[in-house]
Amino acid sequence: MLSIPELVLLVFQQASPRTWPTLCLLSRTCNEIVQPHIWKTISCDTIGTIWKIQSHIRKHAHSVETLKIDPLSGPCISDFLQEISHLQALPNITSLSLPHIKVSLNHLSALLAMSPQLKEIDIRGCILHKHALEVLAPCRKIESMAFSHENVLLSPEFDPSNAFRPWTRLRQLSITIYPYTVTGLSAHQLEEAISKSQLDLASLELSTPYWKVDTIAGIIMRNPNLKRLALINCNLSEQDWTPVLPSLANLHSITFHSSEPCTFESPLRVTQACPLIQHLDLKGFHIFGKQFKSLAETATALTSLTLDFCQFTPSGLRLILEQCAGLESLQVRTLSGLGAVKGFFKEGPLACSKLQELIIHGIIWTQGENSEEIAKKSLETMWTTLKKFTRLRVLTLRHVLRTDSNGLGIHWFGAPSSLEWLCLTGHVSWTEQDLAWIAEQLPRLDVLEYDSKEMDTTLLSWLQKNRPDVRLIPAKS
């Protein structure tokens, strides 16, 4: 039966990507139909993955559309890239991501030459000893470009005032300036090149504290169709933003990261000028309760909020849960202060019934909250509140729990049948009761992330036997 293409295609459409390799073993027809889809996206995040792919990449090169290699080191990376560069062509590849990979200029040039359909490229952190704009110049169809600056000048035949002219389709641009490359003529040359270029960007990411404020403001104002803006360590004051605000009406996503603690006045003012804002990512800001209130009242379309190393009160953040009805994702690092758990997870009405992702990296418990009785009550309050998020698909609690031999208290969570990813790490005491509840009450669970130092091997074996469909992943520190 599985030799009938129409039937195989029907089975394939209903199958999870995790089962695709198994489908290939069922029949020759299955293999012919499924293999191209497996090789469409290559993502290498471990050395072992690279070894497995390297021996087969030549045979399936025509199927590859996306190649992504996470930052890895070792001779196998060079061997892998050399193997790919020796291929005659990657005719269908449209996306290439090599951030912080030790790739030689020759290998990268060979990769680009065989990729005529390339639309997305990420070579941030790659040391090429040649200006990134010159390296990428042959790829005229690029729509998304991410690179870091090196202390290398453009060649004389490359006009800085028209440096971006080859890419008429460019819509997403990301530039990173490292401290050791900020001095010299090349840095000023790049700043001049982008300030004079006529671009029509939908996404702009700049990571540099060294460019002139006027340059950054000018780039933003010349791209009124921006939908995503990310400024990493770009120190624009509230006054600097004044002429820029009218150009931000179309923004849907804002990222502001500061390496030093800053007040929230400027980001709040920018957010208030963006009625369509859906995604907000902040790092290093001090946010007061009244500013959370203003944010909740202004950003009525907000669906995603990330707070990384921001200073705020849990009760202030609670206002987001109470007032942002469309919120789907909340990521926080870290909650602190007296009664942090109760302040954030306290009982009361919540507006964000659509919440699908909640990620909290750390709660700083005060000494008075470490007693067993108070910790147990706090856990019960937390799980009871989480129970209200009936659409929750991803729940990550790292260094949040304070548990003892009585376990996590996860049974207070109810039965959120939608949960697909669960991560519980840091001061966790797993019990048989906890895992039994997970096995029985979370039918859609695909991944359980845990700390290998906290999970007994006997308990792991039990869960693997009773829920073989759940992937057990040791959490990365």
Task: Write out 440-456 in H/E/C secondary structure.
Answer: HHCCCCCEEEECCCCCC
154: Cβ–Cβ under 8 A, 6 or more apart, which residues?
A: 131, 133, 134, 160, 163, 186, 189, 193
At residue 175, what are phi and psi to the nearest 5 degrees? -130, 130
Query: Sign of the C-alpha dihedral, residues 452, 458, 463, 465?
Result: positive
466: Cβ–Cβ under 8 A, 6 or more apart, which residues?
A: 439
Q: Reduced to 3 states, what is the DSSP secondary structure of residue 147?
A: strand
15: Cβ–Cβ under 8 A, 6 or more apart, which residues?
A: 23
Low-confidence ranges of the chain (pLDDT < 50): none
- E strand residue ranges, 132-220: 144-148, 172-176, 203-207
Residue 11 CA to residue 131 CA, distance in Å, equals 48
Q: For residue 268, give the nearest of 224, 316, 222, 225 by alpha carbon.
A: 316
Residue 254 CA to residue 199 CA, distance in Å, equals 19
Own/partner pairs, 19-27, CB within 8 angstroms, 24+ separation: 26/2, 27/2, 27/3
175 DSSP β-pair partners: 147, 206
Check residue 447 and give its pLDDT.
93
Check residue 404 and give its pLDDT.
56
Cβ proximity of 356 and 328 under 8 Å? yes
Q: Helix axis angle, 28-38 relative to 5-14, nearest 10°?
A: 40
Check residue 358 and give its pLDDT.
95
19 Rama class: left (phi>0) / alpha (psi -120 to 50) / beta: alpha
At residue 7, what are phi and psi to the nearest 5 degrees? -70, -40
Q: Reduced to 3 states, what is the DSSP secondary structure of residue 215?
A: helix
Count of other CB atoms within 10 angstroms of residue 412? 16
Residue 368 CA to residue 376 CA, distance in Å, equals 13
Check residue 399 and give its pLDDT.
82
422: Cβ–Cβ under 8 A, 6 or more apart, which residues?
A: 395, 396, 438, 442, 445, 447, 448, 449
Residue 386 CA to residue 414 CA, distance in Å, equals 9
The residue written with tokens 């010349």 in the block is 222
305 DSSP β-pair partners: 280, 330
194-226 pLDDT, tens digit each = 888 888 999 999 998 778 888 888 899 999 899
Residue 231 Cα distances to 209, 225, 334, 466, angstroms: 9, 17, 22, 47
Q: In this structure, what token pair is assigned to residue 452?
A: 């290998």
Residue 100 Cα distances to 111, 143, 456, angstroms: 16, 21, 36
H helix intervals, 368-414: 372-386
Strands 144-148 and 172-176: parallel
Virtual CA dihedral for 108, 111, 117, 123, nearest 10 degrees? -30
Q: For residue 122, give the nearest of 141, 99, 106, 139 by alpha carbon.
A: 99
452: Cβ–Cβ under 8 A, 6 or more apart, which residues?
A: 474, 475
Q: In this structure, what token pair is assigned to residue 218?
A: 């000018």
Residue 56 CA to residue 24 CA, distance in Å, equals 15
Q: In this structure, what token pair is assigned to residue 333?
A: 């690092």
Check residue 12 and give its pLDDT.
72
Check residue 121 and give its pLDDT.
97
